Amino acid sequence: MPRIIHHRQHGQCLLLSACLAAALPGSAMADDTSNQGGSAPQTASLEGVEKSSFGKMPDGRQVDVYRISNDNGIEMRVITYGGIIVSLRTPDAQGNVDDIVLGFDSLDGYLSDTYQQVNPYFGALIGRYGNRIANGQFRLNDETHELATNDGDNHLHGGDKGFNQRLWQAEPFSNAQGAGVILRYTSADGEEGYPGRLKTRVTYTLTDDDALEIDYHATTTEATPVNLTQHSYFNLNGEGNDSILDHRLLINAEAFTPIDESLIPTGEIRPVAGTPLDFTEPTPIGARIEADNQQLEFAKGYDHNFVLKREAPQSEALVLAARVWEPDTGRVLEVATNEPGIQFYSGNFLAGKLTGKGGQAYAHRSGFALETQHFPDSPNHPDFPSTILRPGETYQSQTVYRFSTAESPDEMK
């Protein structure tokens, strides 16, 4: 299957309940070539964006935080270290505003030895390759490339020092759609074992109609795998609450990619029907998570790639990927993407070892992640949609998180 190069689709219906159309900020701007991180010069403040310090790296480099807000009470904070979304505050059905993503109050939390050992990737940008590559290797152009094996025998989320641990250059913006920040990072040829020099740009836009648009853009000097994603953990009852098992989840997928004991896809595309992985109707996350099922046993819960349903399999249009409703607050999170898959992770390895914002210990399954993506280990599965980006091509991908409220899960259908 040929490499799918993504392009934005303007004015199309993204979700069953809403349509979005927005221009890509900074698309005509040159990619930054510096790896020094920090912020671009600012001559004036921008509506909806405030910048301040979030601390310093051990080598003295400054880490900035950008507070981005809209007129409807939604506020997000993004730091230049890892492109991490450190907080995301949204109103519930009664208008009460809570932070719905897991993370830390200070940079020290993200740099601590305990965090590095557990390494849950809270809120971070993931690259060059989101998810796993078997045995830390792949063949490309008759050459075997060796990557870091930082997840048992496998390569995970870009290696020992992926994009989540890099300092990005940031540029805030405000336009007719909303406000946000453009993040840039250039990955050197050979970084973490990947071939080619990869220029990457990621744009976060908080829109005035209560959506977070994430646009990914990359070019390369040599053929290389690219699979970028965002790794926020959500708890729609507010971060620090114990469990996400009562959240009702719908995933727009009739199939998934089964895994082996090391969480690597077997290469099969298997129907979800008749399995605990069937979320084609809104279902509590915890309803079947302890079922006697080999796939759940391998992952210690849900940690699986779902094959998104499309009218045309080769289409690059934005489609509904998932929708989540929390019964106590009425909060709804909708995810749309032009990626072919989405990884649903139920926070199986959160076990109270990490103390997050406000001194709250993050308990087992106290957050979930919905990572839009190409399939795991695609470089080693020629039948999967290709993740190889070549010189002269442009990698473009978009994911949209939309925030709203609903009185019942029936409104999610």
Of 155, 231, 247, 381, the active-site residue reads 231
Q: Where are the alpha helices (DSSP H) in 234-373?
A: 294-299
d(CA 55, CA 384): 42
- CATH for 38-412 is 2.70.98.10
Question: Residue 231 catalytic?
Answer: yes
E strand intervals along 175-327: 178-187, 198-207, 211-220, 224-225, 229-231, 248-251, 253-257, 270-271, 283-284, 303-308, 319-325
Per-residue b/e over 48-85, b at no fewer than 16 CB within 10 Å? bbebeebeeeeeeeebbbbbbbbeeebbbbbbbbbbbb
Of 191, 217, 371, 381, the active-site residue reads 371
Q: 208 is written with which tokens?
A: 């005035």
d(CA 286, CA 289): 5
Task: Please state the domain extents for the chain.
Answer: 38-412
User: One digit per residue, pLDDT tens: the chain, 413 residues?
Assistant: 333 343 333 333 334 434 433 333 444 333 444 455 555 444 346 889 999 999 999 999 999 999 999 999 999 999 999 999 999 999 999 999 999 999 999 999 999 999 999 899 999 999 999 999 999 999 999 999 999 999 999 999 999 999 999 999 999 999 999 999 999 999 999 999 999 999 999 999 999 999 999 999 999 999 999 999 999 999 999 999 989 999 999 999 999 999 999 999 999 999 999 999 999 999 999 999 999 999 999 999 999 999 999 987 667 789 999 999 999 999 999 999 999 999 999 999 998 889 999 999 999 999 999 999 999 999 999 999 999 999 999 999 999 999 999 988 777 66
Question: Residue 157 catalytic?
Answer: no
What pLDDT is attached to residue 255? 98
